[in-house]
């Protein structure tokens, strides 16, 4: 049953929910809306954890439904190492439908010294291996690879990213993969720092296999209006989640103002996946708490 307090939250105009101070941690002076009440619809959105190969057993033990692994780690392994990793992943039993950390910083995507052939050799190797794992979404953050050098035109760097996106989307489609660009805060990249900029890149590339993802940590860090969830609804394919205060596992509804973000996700009927990309000092205890919080947050 929806509480009166929640009902009030859901009928407030969007503008009232997305003021800049909405991104401040919760405080005793500012009461936050109660989270949605659990119903039989809970569980439609899958919750995973961003981990390396060494933590996949921990993810399974904590109750996560999938793992989101590091593309660069998987791609730069030798063939024998990858074969062993694939067997280990299979034995663990959790799927790897999503990967992140697409490219290493050594492969330049912007600036005067890019090498398209080197880019594509790496990308094809990555996609081929991920296809073997059953991966369907590759998160494209890679702040080091896409950062353009001082003195280089940002407009030209954006055009280079558009060209790169068009080229890799073709290869992704051939392997049943969709690339989802991840906007990163300014500390991690100097281009595509907001979901709105990410959406502009997606529209410029104009390919169904190059889409958008949103990381709540970066959205909050950049104090971006959660209205972008609604504006980008036709392109949104994946989510990352963390409590921005410390970039730790989200555990309690009142620890941060999560309400506007999830209200908009519910409004667009998001049914994809959300990966916890955060640290924890006690995964066995905090993993189930985080999963429960996120499951409940998507319930109408």
How far is it, in rounded angstroms, from Cα 169 to Cα 207? 7
CA–chain centroid gap for 186, Å, is 16
Task: Supply the pLDDT for residue 21.
Answer: 36
Alpha-carbon span 137 to 292, nearest angstrom: 24
User: Measured in Å, how far apart are the chain's first and last C-alpha atoms?
Assistant: 10
Strand partners, 48: 66, 275
What is the structure's pLDDT at 300?
A: 65
Percent of the chain past pLDDT 70, that is, above it, reads: 85
State phi, psi for 181 to the nearest 5 degrees: -70, 135
pLDDT tens per residue across span 97-154: 999 999 999 999 999 999 999 999 999 999 999 999 999 999 999 999 999 999 999 9
User: Which residues lie across from 215 on neighbouring strands?
Assistant: 240
Across the chain, which has 300 residues, the per-10-residue mean pLDDT values are 38 35 40 42 80 98 98 98 98 98 98 98 98 98 98 98 98 98 98 98 98 98 98 98 98 97 98 97 98 93
Handedness of CA 187, 188, 192, 198 (dihedral sign): negative
| The pLDDT value given to residue 51 | 98
Q: What are the start-end ranges of the H helices in 175-225?
A: 195-205, 216-221
Closest CA to 223 of 23, 26, 27: 23
Count the residues in the chain.
300
Domains (range + CATH), the chain = 36-297 (3.20.20.150)
The CA-atom distances, in angstroms, between 187 and each of 109, 124, 143, 153, 159 are 18, 29, 9, 19, 22
pLDDT at 237: 98
pTM of the predicted structure, to 2 decimals: 0.87
């Amino acid at each position: 049953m929806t509480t009166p307090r929640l009902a009030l939250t859901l009928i407030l105009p969007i503008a009232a929910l997305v003021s800049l101070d909405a991104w401040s941690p919760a405080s005793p002076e500012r009461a936050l809306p109660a989270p949605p009440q659990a119903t039989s619809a809970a569980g439609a959105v899958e919750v995973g954890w961003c981990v390396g190969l060494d933590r996949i057993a921990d993810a399974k033990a904590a109750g996560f439904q999938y793992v989101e692994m590091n593309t660069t780690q998987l791609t730069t392994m030798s063939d024998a190492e990858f074969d062993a990793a694939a067997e280990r992943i299979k034995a663990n039993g959790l799927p790897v439908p999503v990967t992140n950390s697409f490219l290493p910083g050594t492969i330049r995507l912007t600036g005067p010294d890019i090498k398209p052939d080197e880019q594509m050799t790496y990308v094809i190797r990555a996609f081929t291996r991920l296809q073997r794992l059953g991966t369907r979404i590759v998160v494209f953050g890679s702040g080091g690879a896409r950062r353009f050098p001082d003195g280089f035109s940002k407009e030209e760097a954006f055009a280079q990213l558009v060209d790169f996106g068009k080229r890799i989307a073709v290869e992704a489609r051939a392997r049943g993969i969709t690339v989802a660009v991840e906007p990163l805060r300014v500390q991690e990249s100097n281009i595509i720092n907001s979901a709105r900029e990410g959406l502009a890149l997606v529209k410029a590339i104009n390919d169904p296999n190059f889409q958008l993802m949103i990381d709540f940590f970066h959205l909050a860090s950049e104090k971006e209006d959660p209205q972008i969830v609604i504006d980008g609804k036709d392109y949104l394919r994946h989510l990352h989640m963390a409590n921005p205060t410390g970039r730790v596992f989200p555990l309690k509804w009142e620890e941060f103002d999560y309400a506007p973000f999830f209200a908009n996700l519910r409004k667009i009927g998001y049914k994809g996946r959300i990966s916890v990309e955060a640290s924890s000092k006690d995964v066995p205890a905090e993993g189930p708490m985080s999963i429960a919080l996120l499951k409940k947050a998507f319930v109408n």
